[in-house]
Structure 1
Amino acid sequence: MQTLAVAAIQLTSGYEWHENLLDVKRLVTKAAKDGARLVVLPENVFLFDGKAMRDLAESEVQDQLFEEVLQLAKSLDIYLVIGSHPAIETGAGEPVDNHRVRQALWVINPQGEVISRYDKIHLFDVTVDDKAGSYLESEVIEPGDLQAKVVEIDGFKVGLSICYDLRFPELYRLLTKMGAELLLVPAAFTYVTGKAHWNTLLAARAIENQCYVLGVNQCGWHNDKRQTYGHSTLYSPFGEKLLGLSEEPGYFVHQINKLDIAKYREKMPCLEHRRFS
């Protein structure tokens, strides 16, 4: 297929998984009715509470939650990407120890089956000039294996990543070498770092790899210290902003085209001019 209708779902997820799930169902259903075939949810979509991730992943709720989401994709006949959700096992089935989790992205097909999983590699251990002050994801999250993931969706090669990965261009170059035409970046970028760098980084990854880049972010205040930036956006392989949201929950749908990728790569064959592998 030469085209693919993609959707970004922007949320203000909280501490209650069932409330977050209701918001997901409502917006995903709207996006599907507007023609979306691939719908992407943000990072921390069902739980915005790092300290509670392990408990949720170990609980009976985990199976119930996945059953609901798998059924949602099947009932709407869409590909659905869970931007991230905690897992207590690696993709190979090994246990995650030290009371941590893997921050996993899941790709679900229209038959309601998980067809790919990517575990966040780069962890956000930084100091930020906001109310939270510092972030130490490694306290509750184990980094994923050094394995880039590309999945095929209706003939499009889709590269997978999560949030802080966006600052590491070598990952996206590897995904492009693996054939990626669309790069997904589900995220929970803080307001401060998002305002400074979110759009710049998304555009840069699109320009340097000549791929579509879809950044799907959380937005708003999640508690009295944590605010995310929103501004979910789709960039063209030329670095043009095609569509975007502001700082409120919502969604957009846009159709991407393989011919545009070929056109930009033919006019400016940067990938063929590389001197370093």
Structure 2
Amino acid sequence: MNASSPAPLAALIQMTSGIDPDTNLATIDRALAEAAARGAAMAFLPEMSLLLDRDRTRSGALMAREVDSAWPSALQAMAQRHDIWLHSGSMPLLADDGERRVNRSHVIAADGSIRARYDKIHMFDVALPSGENWRESASYVGGDALAIVETPLGLMGLSICYDLRFPELYRALADRGATVIAIPAAFTVSTGEAHWHVLMRARAIETQCHVVAAAQCGTHADGRQTYGHSVTIDPWGAILADAKGEEAMTGKDYVLALASVDAAASERARLAIPLERSRAMRNITP
């Protein structure tokens, strides 16, 4: 991108995904059409965009290995039809061994090709003060590999939801050259109110990257409630877009939040506060 070119637009698609993948796919198709019409270079879906269902027996009937699943190809066709890059957020698929599931992201180019995959590394196994108990590892196996991919917004590092709480992952992505980090999520309301914005801003500030985080929002068909507030944050920690919470979803099946992602912003932040130079100068013996 030359100096006179406008910064590319990121479109965050905030959803209230449910237990019917076909309904979720129809919502995604409409949202992508709007994002493309509004000039977005790349659209971002939330975690579990195609299926959000805490009933493991019911959702189990829909599980398949990626090679056998119709979901990735459906998103590939949409990206190609709307001529837009797409981050799938994530979807549940069977692991290659056919036993537990993986929580997998795909980055899809405007020509429909899959450019990157990422399996969520950190499992959401928590007992919250709200009384909620979640054991993601009961059904899912965590990934073991970082993923970085070139996109219209820049070199993008991939992560998913609960990964947000592990700064060493983001340091590793930045060390590998990432200038943009995707964090699709389905945050609970209680943890979202306490931690969402502060952690998102911290990841942006400490890595000096843009953070793009599309989120689930509202009351879902399986009974859970999610926080929303899909955000784009610049490398200085400024919130460029915030889709707000459940009130924004009233009468809607998605909300679109657009923000420009200026590739030069990371360089400016890194020149102003040269973290890598400071790290190289330190002499600390553990």
Establish whether TM, by shorter chain, passes 0.5: yes
1:271 partnered with 2:276:
yes
1:75 — aligned with what?
81
8 Å contact kept, 1:54–1:101 = no
Say how many residue pairs are matched.
Answer: 268
2:62 — aligned with what?
56
1:144 partnered with 2:119:
no
8 Å contact kept, 2:65–2:98 = no
8 Å contact kept, 2:149–2:155 = yes
Mapping for residues 78-227 of structure 1, pairs under 5 Å:
78-89=84-95, 94-97=96-99, 100-130=100-130, 133-145=132-144, 147-154=145-152, 156-223=154-221, 225-227=223-225
Q: Which amino acid aligns with 1:236?
A: D
In structure 2, relative to structure 1, the CA distance for the partners of 1:246 and 1:210 (3 Å cut) is same
- Any gaps of 5 or more consecutive residues in structure 2? none
1:141 counterpart SS class: coil
Task: Give distance in 1, aligned partners of 2:61 and 2:218.
Answer: 25
Q: Deviations over 1:250-273 (max 9, x none)?
A: 011222112222111111112321
* Pairwise CA distance, 1:88: 1.7
Task: Give distance in 1, aligned partners of 2:222 and 2:18.
Answer: 12
Task: Give distance in 1, aligned partners of 2:231 and 2:276.
Answer: 24
Task: Give distance in 1, aligned partners of 2:156 and 2:8.
Answer: 11
* Pairwise CA distance, 1:95: 1.7
Task: Give distance in 2, aligned partners of 1:101 and 1:239.
Answer: 34
Q: Deviations over 1:232-263 (max 9, x none)?
A: 01111000111111122301122211222211
8 Å contact kept, 1:150–1:180 = yes
Q: Which has the higher strand share?
A: 1
* Pairwise CA distance, 1:96: 4.0
1:255 to 237, 256, 260: 260
Q: Deviations over 1:188-222 (max 9, x none)?
A: 00000011000000000011111101111100011
2:183 counterpart SS class: strand
2:49 counterpart SS class: coil
1:58 counterpart SS class: coil
Task: Give distance in 2, aligned partners of 1:217 and 1:241.
Answer: 15
Q: Deviations over 1:138-173 (max 9, x none)?
A: 01111111x111100137100000000000000000
1:228 — aligned with what?
226
Measured on the aligned residues, the alpha-carbon RMSD in Å equals 2.0
Task: Give distance in 1, aligned partners of 2:231 and 2:97.
Answer: 35
Task: Give distance in 2, aligned partners of 1:102 and 1:57.
Answer: 10
8 Å contact kept, 1:96–1:102 = no
Task: Give distance in 2, aligned partners of 1:61 and 1:144.
Answer: 18
2:271 counterpart SS class: helix
1:83 counterpart SS class: coil
Q: Identify which range, 100-109 or 219-228, moves more after superposition.
A: 219-228
TM-score (norm 1): 0.91
* Pairwise CA distance, 1:224: 6.5
Task: Give distance in 1, aligned partners of 2:153 and 2:15.
Answer: 28
- Any gaps of 5 or more consecutive residues in structure 1? none
